[in-house]
Structures are given as structure tokens and as C-alpha cells.
Amino acid sequence: MWRWSTDGFVRSWWVLALRGILAIVFGIAALFWPGLTLVVLVTLFGLYAIVDGVAAIASVATHRERGRWWVVLAEGILGIGAGVVALLVPGITAVALVLLIGAWAILTGVMEVAAAFRLRLEMEDEWLLGLAGILSVVFGAGLVIFPGAGALALVVVIGAYSILFGIAMLLLGLRMRALGRIGGPGLGLPI
């Protein structure tokens, strides 16, 4: 039997916060520059997905939990893979981009919801990770169901999603930092 532990999240709170900040910055850039060409959007997404994937893998490397640490590793590998595909094929069509982003968001969201369920017995604010996961799944499903959305609408939706996701991840990171400082229930970790 395996279980998720908050210790890893507490120790790498800054990785969660960094992922949140990067998502917020990406979202703001998408909203304030809606006239971005599709190639620039693909490049921004590719870079963001690679950095997010590397951050997820770094969290595994800094503290590997007993049990299913491979889920976070898989999330990181998926992110890097999606980013590399986006960068290597910048002329990708709008529909292919929408489907690529949608599939990535769904897979990432499912993994985050699963992690939140595993953490629910160990911490009170696991809902933030669950919320980020649910937002990812809903966003991804919307893109897969309606792939014909225009590029401008896609930019606005991606920007809004990124900001909401980023806020949830940033809040989770800050909560983990606070838990580490007060030595939350069963943690006793000096940060």
C-alpha cells in the first residue's frame, strides 16, 4: 500500500510556487498580446510545457516519495514531450495545436486530481491541487470537444486558464511553505 506524503510538497514548495508564477506570466502574456501569431503561441506553449515538465521532474529528483513518485515523473515527461513537439513543428495547424494542448491539459489534470485525493488524509488544503487538476481537465476537454475555435479565442481561453491554474499552484506552494515553517501535523520539517 502506498500513500502520498506532504513532506515532498513541503520540501519543494518553491517548485509549486514557480510553476504557478510561470503559468500566471504565460497567461498574462497571452491575454495582453492576443494578436500573437500561431507560431509564436506554439513557441510560448512549447517553452512553458518544457519548463513545467522540468519543474515536475525536479520535484521528483529533490524528494522521491515511496510508492508512486513515477506519476509526477510521467507528468513531467509528458510536459517536456508536448513542448518539444510544439517547438519542432512550429507550423502546426490550429486544430492540431488545440488537440495537443487539450490532451496535455487532460492528462496533467487527471494526475493532479489523483494526487489531491491521495493527499486529502494528510493535509487540509489539498483541494488547491485538486482544483488545478479539475481546471486542467475541463479546459482540455473543452479544447478537444471544440477544436475549431478561432486563434484569438484560443489565446484568451489559454490565458485565462493559465492564470487560474497558476494562482491555484502558487497558493498551494505558499501553503506548503507555511506548513513547513510551522511544522504541520506530522511534518516537523525545518524549512
Cell 510561470 -> residue: 22
Query: Of all residues in the chain, what percent carry a pLDDT higher than 70?
Result: 79
Domains of the chain as residue ranges with CATH:
6-180 (1.25.40)
Q: How confident is the model at residue 91 (pLDDT cuts 50, 70, 90)?
A: low
The angle subtended at Cα 166 by Cα 36 and Cα 174, nearest 5°, is 150
Tallying the residues shown for the chain, one arrives at: 191
Nine cell digits for residue 18: 514557480
Task: Read off the C-alpha cell for 136.
Answer: 486542467
pLDDT score of 188: 46
Confidence of residue 171 (pLDDT cuts 50, 70, 90): very high
Looking at residue 178, its pLDDT comes to 87
pLDDT score recorded for residue 3: 47
Judge whether residue 51 has pLDDT over 80.
yes
On the question of pLDDT at 185 being above 70, the answer is no
Measure the CA–CA gap between 137 and 105, rounded to whole angstroms: 6
Per-residue pLDDT at 58: 86
Q: How many CB atoms lie within 10 A of CB 161?
A: 23
Taking the C-alpha atoms of residue 104 and residue 77, their distance in angstroms, rounded to an integer, is: 11
Q: Assign 34 a pLDDT band (cuts: 50, 70, 90).
A: low
**pTM, whole model, 2 decimals?**
0.52
Residue 117's Cβ-count burial label (10 Å; 0-12, 13-18, 19+) is middle
Confidence bin at 35 (pLDDT 50/70/90): low
Determine which of 15-19, 50-54, 122-126 has the lowest per-residue pLDDT on average: 122-126
Indicate whether 155 pLDDT > 80: no
